[in-house]
């Protein structure tokens, strides 16, 4: 699976690259979780950027992710912080919950790594099945922006990183690979301090518009849903805003 391999490869560098990528999302999901009347599940918990915040806040939270490498990093951080995570490797399109959740969250655009319509619908159905009767799903995703695609896609971005006392160059490029299907691909290449390439990897990404999300929810078992712009729950009026979906 491309997504699994990509995140296994990049797990050691993930927090250094994406630690503070979206302003306000960590606090937003933490507050939702602390207000939830029951356990919480994070889909795509990764290295624990959001998930460990829930544990620190005293939330009864589980997490799943397709990448064993990302979960290994999460567990290492949890041990350092004296936390006891309940996370396991699972694909959201296949997992079956052992208990009912009051809240399921899918932060940091993880839903967009589902590039097939059947997988998107299956994920929504599996999440719905995991929720209590009054439970909620909350996820965020970027609104596809022609300006961003034209100005930024296809261009390599370079970051200099320090990880565990060693220096690395981390290069990424997002590009459209199928205009008809509206699919993009994120490519990552990492070099060590001597300039030697350590690995090259990539993962697909679906560009899902507001209308497409609306249709997905209409076809899902969810009874109602709303979308907001950014994590302050403002009206969604511009492609520069993050789409925040809440479904019940």
Per-residue confidence (pLDDT) for residue 19, from 0 to 100: 79
From the list 69, 30, 68, the residue with the least C-alpha distance to 49 is: 30
Tell if the pTM clears 0.85, that is, is over it: yes
pLDDT for res 169: 97
Given a cut of 80, whether residue 20 has pLDDT beyond it is: no
* Mean pLDDT across the chain: 96
Q: How confident is the model at residue 21 (pLDDT cuts 50, 70, 90)?
A: low
* Residue-level pLDDT at 1: 67
Question: Is 70 exceeded by the pLDDT of residue 232?
Answer: yes
Residue 22 pLDDT greater than 80, yes or no: no
pLDDT in tens, 38-62: 999 999 999 999 999 999 999 999 9
Band the pLDDT of 23: cuts 50, 70, 90.
Answer: confident
What pLDDT is attached to residue 70? 98
Q: Tell me the per-residue pLDDT of 176-210, one tens digit each, with 9 for 90 and over.
A: 999 999 999 999 999 999 999 999 999 999 999 99
| Residue pLDDT, tens place only, 105-157 | 999 999 999 999 999 999 999 999 999 999 999 999 999 999 999 999 999 99
Q: Three-class SS string for the chain?
A: CHHHHHHHHHHHHHHHHHCCCCCCHHHHHHHHHHHCCCCEEEECCCCCCCHHHHHHCCCCEEEEECCHHHHHHHHHHHHHCCCCCCEEECCCCCCCCCCCEEEEEECCCHHHHCCCHHHHHHHHHHHHHHEEEEEEEEEEEECCCHHHHHHHCCCCEEEEEEECCEEEEEEEEEEEEECCCCEEEEEEEEEECCCCEEEEEEEEEECCCHHHHHHHHHHCCCCCEEEEECCCCECCCCCCCEEEEEEC
Mean predicted confidence (pLDDT) in 34-40: 98
Domain architecture of the chain: domains with CATH:
2-143+208-247 (3.40.50.150), 146-205 (2.20.130)
pLDDT value of residue 138 = 99
Instruction: Report the pLDDT value the prediction gives residue 209, as an integer from 0 to 100.
Output: 98
Cα–Cα distance measured from residue 184 to residue 224, given in angstroms and rounded to the nearest whole number? 29
Give the pLDDT of residue 2: 86
80-104 tens-digit pLDDT: 999 999 999 999 999 999 999 999 9
């Amino acid at each position: 699976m491309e997504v699994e391999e990509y995140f296994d490869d990049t797990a050691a560098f993930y927090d250094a690259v994406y630690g503070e990528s979206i302003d306000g999302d960590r606090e937003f999901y933490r507050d939702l979780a602390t207000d939830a009347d029951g356990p919480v599940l994070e889909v795509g918990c990764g290295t624990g950027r959001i998930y460990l915040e829930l544990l620190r806040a005293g939330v009864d939270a589980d997490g799943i992710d397709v990448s064993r490498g990302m979960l290994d990093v999460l567990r290492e951080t949890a041990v350092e912080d004296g936390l006891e995570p309940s996370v396991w490797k699972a694909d959201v399109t296949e997992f079956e919950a052992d208990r009912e959740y009051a809240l399921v969250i899918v932060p940091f655009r993880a839903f967009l790594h589902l590039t097939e319509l059947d997988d998107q619908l299956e994920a929504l159905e599996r999440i719905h099945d995991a929720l209590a009767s009054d439970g909620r799903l909350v996820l965020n995703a970027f609104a596809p922006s022609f300006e961003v695609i034209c100005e930024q896609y296809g261009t390599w971005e370079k970051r200099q990183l320090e990880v565990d006392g060693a220096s690395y160059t981390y290069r990424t490029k997002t590009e459209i690979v199928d205009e008809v299907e509206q699919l993009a691909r994120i490519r990552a290449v990492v070099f060590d301090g001597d300039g030697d390439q350590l690995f090259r990897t990539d993962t697909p990404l679906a560009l899902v518009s507001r209308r497409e999300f609306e249709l997905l929810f209409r076809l899902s078992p969810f009874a109602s849903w709303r979308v907001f712009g950014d994590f302050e729950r403002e009206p969604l009026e511009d492609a520069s805003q993050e789409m925040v979906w809440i479904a019940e």
